[in-house]
Structure 1
Amino acid sequence: MTVEVLYFAWLRERIGHPRETVQTEAATPRALIAELVAQSDGHAAAFGDIAALRCAVDQQLTDLDAPLAGAREVAFFPPMTGG
């Protein structure tokens, strides 16, 4: 499947770009991260501590073990605070 992967904040800085289109066989965001880490040192640095990550699939917040079947977009970002 082809999926658009979006990176925000320090993930974008470590990877070096805000988005990329990837071909993946991953069934979950966690499996997608494993594929991405193998791509470059920047990806490995960005995903070095996945406990510090949040994820959205097709603009819906989800956990890293949610299914990706049929997803068009996956976004990774640090935890958010608001006020």
Structure 2
Amino acid sequence: MSNTVKLLNVVALTADLPRYNVWRGQVGTIVETLANGTAFEVEFSDRNGRTHKSLGLRPEQIMVLHFQPASPGFKPERGTA
């Protein structure tokens, strides 16, 4: 299991962004790598799959969600997604 952000990863927002009406915990998908991996385009969709927001975010603003148990000895990296 890796904390490295990759294209099509499912991520959660780690901070509120009221200016864009998206909030900590909202789930999105990485749809583009920007600035040589220093930022990522994250698409937020509604329950019907329609995109309601697409934002460029820094790794510290998101966390990769995992859908399987962590391997023994897995240690998440602090300060990165």
Fold match by TM threshold 0.5:
no
TM-score scaled by length of structure 2:
0.33
Higher RCO by CA contacts (8 Å cutoff, separation 6 or greater): 1
TM-score scaled by length of structure 1:
0.32
* Greater share of residues in helix: 1
